[in-house]
Amino acid sequence: MEDIDDHCHQRAHVLVGAVKLGILAWEKAEPEALGIADVARERGHSAMVFELDDLRCDPGPAGAVATIQGTPLSEFDLILCRCDLSTPPWTEKIQQLLLLNGEPGVTVLDPLEVHIRAASKRAMIHQLTLHGIPVPPTKECHSAADVRAALDAWGQVVVKPALGYRGLDVERLLEGPTTSALELTETLLERHGTLLCQPYLAHKGDFRVLIIGSKVSSCTRFDTAGDDWKPFSGDLADDPVSSALIEPSDELASLALQAVKATDLTMAGVDIIMSESGLTVIEVNPVPGWAAWTPEMARVPNVHLVEFAETQVNARGSVSAQSARGWR
């Protein structure tokens, strides 16, 4: 990890032309998307932050044209996709993303198939397993009986939605198949339909390694212990547990890079714990967040992402000679 001023000075030569950048935000006024756009504009690029509902199929001279806030999708060089696939309406979102991914000459990071596979926790865990990444054993559960079988096998378990974020409805069951545990399970099943169940791996401290391209952008250590056993409580009003940016060990950085490579993502937050079993990847998040960071620290991934966008577009040889006008 680098001092941001030194980093910008050292990498200034990367900028060779103006990139027309679109940033698909998780939600309206998302701080990460706005921060990325600010850095892009500082570096002479055009940047538009938009939501999925800003993407439309409009009439065109030959039939249909994909537009973003009225601008033809074909005018963009690259789209950074930070969309939320953890909440409905999933069918509509998939149709919108298919439209976004269908324009020749426009790079989408990350592409639809890659993004969906990482957003789906069961598909993501399966993909990591296929590539030999250490992950917890995982059981798909559709009933309280399924969860009870997992408790019988592992004793202490974690249950979580198959799609989710920020620790919402991620629960730890430590006392076996008690009445309260099974009632909680029934509630979660009614809410989500499918749960994933994994053995609870006792540990102190969680690591989030942020990968952009093929490099470590940052590493955060969350002070998880006792009742604060997960970085985010599951209450959106709560701040995460205390944390600190650290320099990752070679082993930690290497595992995070391998996990991201296994998912084919180009940007991701890799959640890793150290337990008696060693380093274990809990999740690879295709839409990592850093809104809770100080502005100075949040600027680091913002710069890294814009630089990565520059290299992708420049390598394709499609950087325009000057910035697009009208939607900066």
Separation CA 259–CA 271 (nearest Å): 10
Q: What is the pLDDT of residue 277?
A: 85
Rounded CA separation 167/231 (Å): 8
- pLDDT reported for residue 235: 74
The contacts of residue 61 (CB under 8 Å, 6+ apart) are: none
Domains and CATH numbers, the chain: 4-110+293-316 (3.40.50.20), 139-199 (3.30.1490.20), 203-285 (3.30.470.20)
**Local mean pLDDT, 10-residue blocks, the chain (328 residues):** 41 62 96 98 97 96 96 98 93 97 96 96 97 98 96 96 91 95 96 96 93 96 90 77 94 98 97 93 96 92 97 76 38
Instruction: Read off the tokens for 125.
Output: 């865990």
Provide the pLDDT for residue 324: 38
Cα(245)–Cα(219) distance, rounded to whole angstroms?
A: 6
Rg, Å, the chain Cα set: 21
Q: Are strands 206-212 and 157-161 parallel, antiparallel or unpaired?
A: unpaired
CA dihedral sign, ordered 6, 9, 13, 17: positive
| Contact status, residue 124 vs residue 106, Cβ threshold 8 Å | no
Q: Can you read off the two tokens belonging to residue 249?
A: 């060990």
pLDDT at res. 237: 66
